[in-house]
Structure 1
Amino acid sequence: MGFIIAVDGPAASGKGTVASRLAAAYGLPMLDTGLLYRAVGVRLLAIGGDLDDPSAAEASARGLDLSELEKPEVRTRAAGEAASRVAVHPGVRKTLFDLQRAFAEREPGAVIDGRDIGTVIAPDAHAKLYVTASPEVRADRRWKQLTGQGESVTFDEILADIHKRDARDGGRKDAPMTQAVDAILLDTSEMSIEQAFDAARRIVEDARARSGNLPG
């Protein structure tokens, strides 16, 4: 098995940016697993399906093509809400598990960004980070992102979304969002992108030194 870096954390914590920077630094492929759930939700909405119907959501997951992760609609506010709703269904998570696990096991390794990577998908990952930030900071980041994409939304609406998604993702029975016991906490609330990346890379370097399995 190659060198696996698991990057978990809540929405808009900075984990996606950290993960992509780590992937580039170490020459490893990256999978943003949140996009998988977003794409499942978008597929279901496109046919007028019910996000809270376990069977319909699982069928949507089974038909997923990875090329759909590139569609701009998977990065919208609606897609984020849909992802959080379909992710509570065990059938959806089971359907996507094998895909994520296969990605984790490829050589020379991988960087995987999600909410249950270090606990469920790759519990044996060599480096585990749990990236977070205060709800207010995360809401501000997401608000700037969405308004920059042309969406009409207020900060208060985004903050409410953040609180709702945290409760749903952390409270689901199957693979809840939680920090793995051996993951290193990285709070990016007061960090720039460069500072967050530098801190993350130090965590990975420590893991490289311990494991002797060195990418790049």
Structure 2
Amino acid sequence: MTQILTIAIDGPAASGKGTLARRIADYFHLGHLDTGLTYRAVAHRMLEKGWPLDDAAHAVEAARQVDLGNLDKHALSAHAVADAASKVAVIPDVRKILVEKQRAFAARDGGAVLDGRDIGTVVCPDAAVKLYVTASAEVRAARRLRDIEARGGTAALAEILDDIRRRDERDMGRSDSPLRPAADAHLLDTSEMSIEAAFQAARAIVDDVLAKRDRA
């Protein structure tokens, strides 16, 4: 039987964890799931239907309909959807449903890389590798602005920074599955790292874990 390799990557918004997770998944030939998209899918449906974001019953209905094989990243990338996602994510029953789906993905043959905010602490606490990717709020805001401008949009850096700080407060302050590094996570501050440097640092950590596992 093929041994499953699960890699959990957590961190705040715009820390670079998503880009890093995709690079790691490609390099080690693993499936990849951006778990944030599952919450965005719930938020997207809530917004489409005009349902209040604190309507737990409808949020649970939307969560049950999330299909991990049909997450349209383009449709779910809108700022309004991202902001709404952090609001529906505080609903415990929504988290319970989505965590079950995420765990099923992690159990796929060969393994997977999952990135989000509670992967190493809640979704996959037994993951072979846990990374907590972070960066200063100012650096993350600048990255988000570059992404927006690269897509032809415009935004004010100060407003993006305020939004990131609000999202951090919501994510870190919620009572159910708050954003925090797992006790055994490897911390990776990408504030002064290029994407390539962050990837090489993360790859070295995974390689070390695999080497120790092979020797065991």
- From 127, 137, 140, the equivalent of 1:138 is 140
Q: Note the residue ranges of structure 1 that are not aligned, 5 or more in a row.
A: none
- From 37, 47, 55, the equivalent of 1:35 is 37
After superposing the two structures, state which structure 1 stretch, 59-68 or 107-116, moved more.
59-68
- Check the 8 A contact 1:39/1:68 in 2, yes or no: no
Deviation beyond 6 Å, 4+ runs, structure 1: none
State yes or no: 1:102 paired with 2:124. Answer: no
TM-score by length of 2: 0.95
**CA offset digits 1:106-148 (Å, max 9, x no partner):** 1101000110000001000000000000000001111111232
- Check the 8 A contact 1:13/1:138 in 2, yes or no: yes
In the other structure, the counterpart of 2:185 is 183
Amino acid in the other structure paired with 2:178: P
In the other structure, the counterpart of 1:17 is 19
How many residue pairs were aligned?
Answer: 214
TM-score by length of 1: 0.95
What is the alpha-carbon distance in structure 2 between the residues aligned to residue 144 and residue 38 of structure 1? 21
Q: Note the residue ranges of structure 2 that are not aligned, 5 or more in a row.
A: none
- Check the 8 A contact 2:37/2:73 in 1, yes or no: no
Amino acid in the other structure paired with 1:150: G
CA change 1:71–1:130 in 2 (3 A) is closer
What is the alpha-carbon distance in structure 1 between the residues aligned to residue 150 and residue 88 of structure 2? 26
After superposing the two structures, state which structure 1 stretch, 72-81 or 158-167, moved more.
72-81
Where 2:19 maps in the other structure, the secondary structure is helix
Where 2:202 maps in the other structure, the secondary structure is helix
Where 1:211 maps in the other structure, the secondary structure is helix
Q: Provide the identity percentage.
A: 56
What is the alpha-carbon distance in structure 2 between the residues aligned to residue 169 and residue 157 of structure 1? 18
In the other structure, the counterpart of 1:78 is 80
- From 159, 162, 165, the equivalent of 1:160 is 162
What is the alpha-carbon distance in structure 2 between the residues aligned to residue 71 and residue 209 of structure 1? 34
Amino acid in the other structure paired with 1:4: T
